[in-house]
Structure 1
Amino acid sequence: MCKTCWTITALMLIVILGMAYKFIVVGSVEQATDGRLSLQLEPAEKDLVMAEMRAFLVTVQQINEGVVQDDMKKVADAARKVGRAAQEAVPVSLMGKLPLDFKKLGFDTHTKFDSLALDAEQFGDKEQTLGALTELMQNCISCHAGYRIDLVME
């Protein structure tokens, strides 16, 4: 009796670990023909990710305007809008479809926007802000070089 219970428990643990690995690490991806990983998302999920990327782009423009206008409050306000707090709107179901490296890149990007906002407020140094923005943009380049989004219809 006890041997059967241990076998069932072990099998359930293997299934749970496999699901956790798929949910946390692998996500829902395929190798794309262009060499990138293709995120397999439903239309609403794609719309959400694309809206976030457009928000990043708008923020970069606002940061550039703030630097040119010597308005570091504008820089900080813009950057903070897409900081870590903004990622709370991402549903868990979507997070499960994203591979771990993509999630890490996204978390790091949000964190870098928060750091840029804090530095702009505390130091008001335009050169430092542009340096931070340059570093942050490397995340955008890495993401677009490594991933694309393709629709799956369910």
Structure 2
Amino acid sequence: MNTATRRTLAALALVLPTLALPQTHPAGGHVHPAAGPAQDPAAAADPRRPVAFPEPLRRHTLANMRDHLLALGEMQDALAKGEFDRAADVAEQRLGMSSLKTHGAHEVARYMPQGMQDAGTAMHRAASQFATVAKDASVTGDLRPALAALARVNQACVACHAAYRLN
């Protein structure tokens, strides 16, 4: 098993328990799928570190993260269609280091703990690296390095979301 696979599995082991979605209980409340009807999901502790942002910045940051998910989907779609330059452009403009000013990263970073800042920087750098590798794929025709680079972008997102949550 290679290093990237081990990192992915380790990140998934941290994140999967937090991914189960609540289900509606017949009595009208919500029940965590693994909890059973007698357990209140609000009582279950969220192990992620809460991070408080002023409300306008919180909304802005959540909107940015939703756009990051859309960008990841567009990058995957472009790769699937062999549109490597489009995948690279989406990555760099919406997720890469070139996107920091658009996202207001300097303003948001003031409210982030250092580990969250580091995770964000890792994601933005990984996206810029993906952009370079995706452009290389347009010349070589080899999709594997681009897929590996895309996995690193996703792993950076997963690591941050596993460790932190916005209040």
**Residue 74 of structure 2 aligns with which residue?**
62
For the Cα contact (< 8 Å) 2:88–2:135, is it kept in 1?
A: yes
- Show CA shifts across 1:2-49 (max 9, x none): xxxxxxxxxxxxxxxxxxxxxxxxxxxxxxx41111011111111121
Query: Does residue 163 of structure 2 align to residue 146 of structure 1?
Result: yes
Q: Which runs of 5+ in 1 are unaligned?
A: 1-32
> CA shift at 1:50, angstroms?
1.0
Aligned residues: 119
> CA shift at 1:141, angstroms?
1.1
Distance 1:92 1:61, change over 3 A: closer
For the Cα contact (< 8 Å) 2:84–2:137, is it kept in 1?
A: no
Matching residue's letter, 2:166: I
SS at match of 1:65: helix
> CA shift at 1:123, angstroms?
3.3
For 2:64 and 2:79, the matched residues in 1 are separated by: 22
SS at match of 2:52: strand
SS at match of 2:50: strand
> CA shift at 1:122, angstroms?
2.5
SS at match of 2:56: helix
**Alignment equivalent of 1:122, drawn from 128, 136, 142:** 136
Query: Does residue 140 of structure 2 align to residue 109 of structure 1?
Result: no
Map 1:14-93; keep pairs closer than 5 Å.
Answer: 33-81=45-93, 82-89=95-102, 90=104, 92-93=106-107
Matching residue's letter, 1:46: R
TM-score calculated relative to the size of structure 1: 0.71
Give the RMSD, CA atoms, in angstroms.
1.8
Q: Which runs of 5+ in 2 are unaligned?
A: 1-44
For 2:107 and 2:125, the matched residues in 1 are separated by: 22
Higher relative contact order (CA 8 A, sep 6+): 1
Distance 1:75 1:93, change over 3 A: closer
